[in-house]
Structure 1
Amino acid sequence: MAKFEQYKDKNNKRKWLFSGYVATDPITEKKIVTTRKGFDTKAEASLEFDKLKASILKGSKKKRTITFQELYDDWLEQHRKSVKSSTVATNRRFIEGHVLPKFGKLKLDQITVSFCQKCVNEWHDKYKQYHYIRRATAQVMNYGVSMELMESNPMKKTILPRKKEEEKKPNFYSKDELHEFMTFVKTLDNYKYYAFFRLLAITGMRKSEALGLYIKDLNIFNKTLTIGKTIAIDEYDQVVLQTPKTKNSYRTISLDDETIRILQKWFSIQKEDYFKLGFNTSKAKQLMFSNMSNDLYYPQVVNDWLDWIYDKAEKEGLTLKRISPHGFRHTACSLMFEAGATINEVQKRLGHKDVKTTMNIYSHVTPQQAENTSQKLANYLGF
């Protein structure tokens, strides 16, 4: 407990002081013991004591001294307990690569809205994913507000610049283009590629979902495939198997006879090849597509497969349209609509949360669809 008492200063004038325990810092949990002098009355000394105590309990003293780097370190520890390891990895990449160089050494009370806006504008000019960097920064500052280390979140007050308009090449295949691609891949001395990209095109699943499949996820009697896992990269750059993006991503979809036959043929080839390497592919959790150590692939490998296929085709005088692995998801969606599937059927097969997601992301149509739409309208009108 603090003591209040009188003393004489160097001019022999009577003054008041207080000394001793004031409060326990709620952040550091340290007991604050101090002495303050120079008050003309006991009431003044008591008022200053109350102000200091309130300041400590509120944490304002900490707010003036903590840096963004320190806040980030505290936030990261909490963040690891709240989200998937792959999400931690993504946010660390954004923050440590782009945010800490600008904000790291700044005290929290030095961070202004105008400074944040300047940074957002710079990120917008340099990076396509500028809005993700802004969002990650805002998450850290939200934590600062929640912990009462910041009065408000200046990053949330910034204005997000308009997304740059870029001419995008269609990232999907038409029916004929897909047929040309698959016909070429079938000629290659790698049946894995043929089975894998057939599966992507028929199901519309994400590459990370396909790489996380077990052989047992295929039910050949019911002709179904259960999708309930996805691979990702954690913050230590290790590939991990985790739950899908949303509960809607858990799904069981139907498969056609030909795709099942192709997968079964691949399983036989894989079993024989991996037996020679000393691996037993009859285990319960045998991956459909595994690396040479019979373990999870890194997701980037699918991009490498595609690049190899396109380069191989060019060397043989064939120019295939280049799309990304995700383009096969677009392709499946587009061709399902073209084949007459309903919006709900496509939504459930792709594992989207709602119909809006399906229509917003896949608003493109193939030339064949556009032609069919026009013909359907003309037939309906009758003139």
Structure 2
Amino acid sequence: MPKHKNTNIKPYKLKNGQKRYWFRIYLGMKGGKKVETSRRGFKSYDEADAVYKQLAAEDAQDYIKQKQITFDELYHKWLPFYSQNVKESTLWKTETLYKNHLKDQFGDQYIDQITTAEIADYFLDLSAKLVKYKMVFWYMRRILEHAIDINLLSRNPARASLLPKKTSVKKRRDVAHNFYTADQLHQFLDTAKEYNERTYIYFSILATTGMRKSEVLALKWSDIEFNKQRIYVQRTTAYGENGAYITQLPKGNKKRYVPLDDKLAHELKHYRRDLSDKLFHTAKKDYLRQSKPDQWLAAIYAKDPDLKKITIHGLRHTFATLLNQAGVNPKDVQAILGHSTLDLTLDVYTHSTPEGREKARAEINKLF
């Protein structure tokens, strides 16, 4: 084994017996004081030597001494700033993500000792286990970026260039077929009606307005404007801090109106059976949990095994596809769905159908 030239780099062992390297380096004088720093956690001598040389090239006058705080302490410094600009449900998801994926791995480490190589190894491993591994990475990068903002780090070790490009985890179901044709939708709603009225009304609203699952669960009777033939979408159910079930603004923090068709309006007027302000509620008049529609969907498919199976969100895809096929202006479809961009409406929520292609053929015949 060749002798290592840099004697400032020294080996040590972790509790599990694995070998690591560390060093302390003198950078010069600043303001009459010595400027020194240390790094540890390197898996190889060469990795430690590369960082040592990079630090040695720095001017002591420009060097920002990195404070000894842990990643968990940094996270709790960053969280109050982050929480000011996100919804409660997003904050809860962020806290859950941190506890599940980042705290155990990096929480007890000093931020100036977390290396780029260590981060790269962790996310390479995570990419083989988690579809949304990139989301975890970008949260870590944002937390470390906060350390730079408050003068605790001079550089961010979470280098985007080292993030794995793909995951080997099996992706979610293919959404290219996650929608109904008009005939399939009528068959589905007929079966829902046979099951019970509440289920039928819930899925009818989804299918004829394009609303999201949790937006329909959050509807109040005051949101339905029968005289204007529209429904005001101004809240959604969600899980907040400590798993509390709450309502908040719809996705994108934007309220919107969706059209109310004549048939659904007629059926809604005959649906109300009590004085609750909510369309869908428990015996105690609370909002139904988001798992309830999944139970209804399973019951519908059990009642008619011949039905094509799609997700509840697939009814939103169905709505967009059928309107697009009918020639409705895509910008209007975008507004109804509450999408921020037209590309999302066209690329994700509208699908090519045999009926649509046949309609195109007929139109081409007229033109030529």
Q: Sort the TM-score into its range (normalised by shorter chain).
A: 0.7 to 0.9
Match of 1:339 in 2: 326
Alignment map for 1:250-289 (pairs within 5 Å): 250-267=255-272, 269=273, 271=274, 280-281=275-276, 286-289=277-280
What SS does the corresponding residue of 1:126 show, helix, strand or coil?
Answer: coil
Shift of 1:292: 2.2
Alignment map for 1:160-239 (pairs within 5 Å): 160-162=164-166, 168=174, 170-188=177-195, 190-239=196-245
Alpha-carbon contact 2:179-2:310 (below 8 Å) kept: yes
Alignment map for 1:1-383 (pairs within 5 Å): 47-48=32-33, 60=65, 62=67, 65-157=68-160, 158-162=162-166, 168=174, 170-188=177-195, 190-246=196-252, 249-267=254-272, 269=273, 271=274, 280-281=275-276, 286-313=277-304, 318-381=305-368
TM-score by length of 2: 0.78
Distance 2:114 2:341 in 1: 39
Percent pairwise identity: 28
TM-score by length of 1: 0.75
Distance 1:149 1:250 in 2: 40
Distance 1:50 1:163 in 2: 42
Shift of 1:205: 0.6
How many residues end up aligned between the 2 structures? 312
Shift of 1:51: 9.6
Alpha-carbon contact 2:124-2:163 (below 8 Å) kept: no
Shift of 1:373: 2.1
What SS does the corresponding residue of 2:84 show, helix, strand or coil?
Answer: coil
Structure showing greater radius of gyration is 1
Distance 2:114 2:36 in 1: 25
What SS does the corresponding residue of 2:335 show, helix, strand or coil?
Answer: helix
Match of 2:40 in 1: none
Deviation track 1:271-304 (CA, whole Å, cap 9, x = no partner) reads 1xxxxxxxx42xxxx1121122211222232222
Deviates more, 1:67-76 or 1:150-159: 150-159
Deviation track 1:5-38 (CA, whole Å, cap 9, x = no partner) reads xxxxxxxxxxxxxxxxxxxxxxxxxxxxxxxxxx
Cα distance change, pair 338–61 in 1 and its aligned pair in 2 (3 A): closer
What SS does the corresponding residue of 2:237 show, helix, strand or coil?
Answer: strand
Cα distance change, pair 222–330 in 1 and its aligned pair in 2 (3 A): same
Shift of 1:345: 1.4
Cα distance change, pair 108–324 in 1 and its aligned pair in 2 (3 A): same
Distance 1:59 1:368 in 2: 65
What amino acid is the match of 1:159?
L
Shift of 1:261: 1.4
Structure 1's unaligned 5+ residue stretches are 1-43, 272-279
Deviation track 1:85-129 (CA, whole Å, cap 9, x = no partner) reads 101111112111012121112211122222222222222211121
Q: How large is the Cα RMSD of the aligned pairs?
A: 2.5
What amino acid is the match of 1:254?
P
Shift of 1:156: 4.3
Alpha-carbon contact 2:66-2:152 (below 8 Å) kept: no
